[in-house]
Amino acid sequence: MFIAAASTAQTPPWLIAPFALLLLCIALGPLAFPKFWHRRYPNIALGLAGISAACQLAMTGSFAPLRHAVEEYAGFIALIASLYVVSGGIHIRVKGEATPAVNCTFLAIGAVLANVIGTTGASMLLIRPWIRMNRYRITAFHIVFFIFIVSNVGGCLTPIGDPPLYMGYLKGVPFWWVLQHCWQAWAVAVAGLIAIFAVFDRMNFLRAPKKVRDAETAHETWSFRGMHNLVFLAVILFAVLVLPLGWREGVMTAAALGSWFTTKRDIHEANDFAWEPVKEVAWLFIGIFVTMTPALHYLQGNPPPLASAHEFYWATGALSAALDNAPTYLAFLAAALGQQHLAMENVAGITAFASAQAGTLEAISLGAVFFGAMTYIGNGPNFMVKAIAEHAKVKTPSFLGYVVRFALPILLPLLALIGVLFFSRWHPFG
């Protein structure tokens, strides 16, 4: 999403209005006019995208920014949809009662797995077993903490883990740089969130009637079905890591089709597989990708005067909560490189920057990954998990409810602590 500096500097603030209006609709639509929203959200997203595209074309006279937005959206939705289809062909049943200890262990495994198959892959693979194993007492906080840990924070140890880090890897950040520099913050964040979750889950567990718990879990056994889909998951990961744009999306689509036609129908039925969750993400994010282009260009042309890693952490985090965190990562990486008189196209320079300015790059990386959990639109899997939970008749918080009831009082203080521990002048971790 990068165009000439002259163009970005000339991006007028009013061009951001369609993006702001779309965010407002996503936040208030399900609350203010739920029936109309669920029936018309594709029209709203496409309509605002069309208005934004027309204004961008009139201002720049070039299709290049829109073409880049559509290409990035194509890669995004191909990955999301293929992982959704393939993971929907794997049915996991967990033996025994979903005690707080079992749940905490499950979330910890999900946080580690997110670095192997990505936050999207881990989310799509584990959200259905998570709902089933807690079905007799599941509440909104189960879904929210799953999003916090598995869909976001857990995936900050490898470029595979989260889209922003993958973008950095493609630009020249060494593959193992993230693990080397971010593992301590990852450990603090994951351990902190699981500890907080354990308190909530313990109270919830004690409130659940024992007869109901016994009736729901007595017949459960460990079972794994559709495991041939692990091959298709491997194909998708190979495409993400190795193949160029165009080939990558084609191979991921082929893997999804192969999974769909080779998976038995009863496995999809056991997973309550439905297309509506991925359709909702597809419609809303085409609007987000197109309308947020001027916002990113304005940020690149008018970067805030950031002088420290702590400032980069909070600035990247604030924008990652409101925008998709992958392009936000790229925008602040560009700003940091610009301070060192380096270009985004200079792979060798970015590799050297990762070594010489490790604190700044760590702040951008953690800000993008961790703060992507602050809203449903901060990271791709968030909306998908919400949609799957709603389809399974699980009560989930609204856009504002998620932010006000959970993200601000629970997640934000922990992220502030991480900012102090790792990026302030008093930080104890070097």
pLDDT of residue 426: 64
User: From CA 297, how far away is CA 226, in angstroms rounded?
Assistant: 44
Place of tokens 């913050």: 185
pLDDT of residue 2: 37
Can you say whether the dihedral through the CA atoms of 81, 86, 91, 92 is positive or negative? negative
pLDDT of residue 5: 38
Q: What kind and span of H or E run contains 118? A: helix 100-133
pLDDT of residue 156: 94
Q: What kind and span of H or E run contains 284? A: helix 276-301
User: From CA 296, how far away is CA 16, in angstroms rounded?
Assistant: 9
pLDDT of residue 3: 38
pLDDT block averages, 10 residues each, the chain of length 430 = 44 87 84 86 94 90 84 84 88 77 94 89 88 88 97 92 84 89 96 97 86 57 84 90 86 95 90 83 88 79 80 92 81 82 74 89 96 89 89 89 95 96 74
Tokens of 330: 């790229």
- The terminus-to-terminus CA distance of the chain in angstroms comes to 33
φ and ψ at residue 426, rounded to 5 degrees: -105, 15
Can you say whether the dihedral through the CA atoms of 396, 401, 403, 407 is positive or negative? negative
